[in-house]
């Protein structure tokens, strides 16, 4: 159910497996993109409601007054900031405007494929190198429809924005064996876009593990054994091959390694 709420804090914090503290702005709590591997599903309460934080930009404005300008903030963890609902509420745009007023460094993560980011190009371009788009390519809605990677909507967006001078980093995370063909995706991206890779990382017996297993059983039954190995035995032969092939490539980074 959609719930419009008021918040008293704009910034939350996450603590990734490789250490550190990551400040996050989530204009929404909940996500409509529906990735079956989404680690947020570990929280059984997440995404029961889609919460719209109506006042987040006003609260953010106050919080940023005391912010260290050298720190980078991230937009989007418990939501995709460019999912379709932002067409109506424009909270992502409002937060970006607050960040741009103070010349803050910001990274926006999205894989929704809504193209709404083009709406905000006026703000983003003014932010210059303070802005980075972390564009996820493991959007299963896009991948299931198309064989030619050059036609994948998020790859086209990555290339178009990159050519407009927006800093874009592409993420094939997770690499889904039999679904995300890393070589074809890399070849379809402009050659100077950095690409981040990571394997499927799921804890056994959690909701994301069960959701991905059900997704594979339903849509890719021929891959069921391979994914059971990944989920239950921590064996991912395709990822090992990808690492071997790309680890010396200057363009490629392996997340968490």
Residues that bind ligand SF4 (CB under 6 A): 31, 33-35, 38, 40, 80, 111
CB-wise, 37 or 131, nearer to ligand SF4?
A: 37
Rounded to the nearest 5 degrees, what angle is found at the Cα of 73, between the Cα atoms of 188 and 92? Answer: 75
The least CB distance from residue 113 to ligand SF4, in Å, is 10
The least CB distance from residue 34 to ligand SF4, in Å, is 6
CB-wise, 100 or 136, nearer to ligand SF4?
A: 136
CB-wise, 101 or 141, nearer to ligand SF4?
A: 141
Rounded to the nearest 5 degrees, what angle is found at the Cα of 168, between the Cα atoms of 167 and 169? Answer: 130
The least CB distance from residue 97 to ligand SF4, in Å, is 23
CB-wise, 64 or 133, nearer to ligand SF4?
A: 133
Closest C-alpha to 107, from 22, 207, 34, 49: 22
Helix (H) or strand (E) holding 107: strand 105-110
CB-wise, 83 or 242, nearer to ligand SF4?
A: 83
Cis status of the peptide bond prior to 174, with omega within 30 of 0: yes
The least CB distance from residue 157 to ligand SF4, in Å, is 14
The least CB distance from residue 228 to ligand SF4, in Å, is 22
> Which residues lie below 8 Å from residue 144, measured CB to CB, with a gap of 6+?
219
Residue for token pair 């990944």: 230
The least CB distance from residue 33 to ligand SF4, in Å, is 4
CB-wise, 26 or 98, nearer to ligand SF4?
A: 26
How close are the terminal C-alpha atoms of the chain, in Å? 38
Whole-angstrom Cα distance, residue 172 to residue 178?
Answer: 13
Determine contact, residues 244/252, Cβ cutoff 8 Å.
Answer: no
């Amino acid at each position: 159910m959609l719930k419009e709420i008021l918040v008293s804090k704009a910034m939350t914090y996450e603590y990734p497996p490789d250490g550190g503290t990551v400040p996050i702005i989530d204009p929404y709590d909940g996500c409509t993109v529906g990735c079956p591997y989404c680690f947020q599903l570990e929280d059984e309460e997440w995404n029961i409601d889609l919460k719209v934080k109506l006042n987040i930009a006003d609260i953010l404005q106050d919080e940023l007054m005391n912010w260290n300008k050298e720190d980078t903030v991230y937009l989007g963890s418990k939501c995709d900031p460019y999912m379709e609902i932002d067409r109506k509420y424009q909270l992502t745009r409002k937060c970006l405007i607050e960040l741009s007023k103070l010349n803050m460094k910001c990274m926006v993560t999205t894989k929704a494929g809504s193209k709404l980011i083009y709406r905000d190009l006026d703000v983003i371009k003014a932010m210059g190198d303070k802005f980075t788009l972390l564009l996820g390519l493991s959007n299963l809605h896009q991948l299931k429809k198309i064989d030619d990677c050059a036609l994948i909507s998020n790859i086209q967006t990555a290339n178009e924005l990159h050519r407009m001078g927006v800093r874009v980093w592409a993420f094939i995370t997770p690499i889904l064996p039999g679904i995300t063909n890393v070589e074809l995706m890399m070849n379809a991206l402009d050659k100077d876009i950095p690409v981040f890779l990571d394997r499927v990382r799921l804890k056994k017996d959690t909701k994301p593990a069960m959701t991905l297993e059900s997704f594979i059983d339903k849509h890719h039954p021929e891959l069921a054994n391979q994914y059971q190995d990944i989920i239950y035995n921590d064996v991912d032969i395709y990822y090992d091959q990808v690492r071997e092939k790309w680890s010396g490539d200057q363009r490629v980074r392996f997340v968490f390694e």
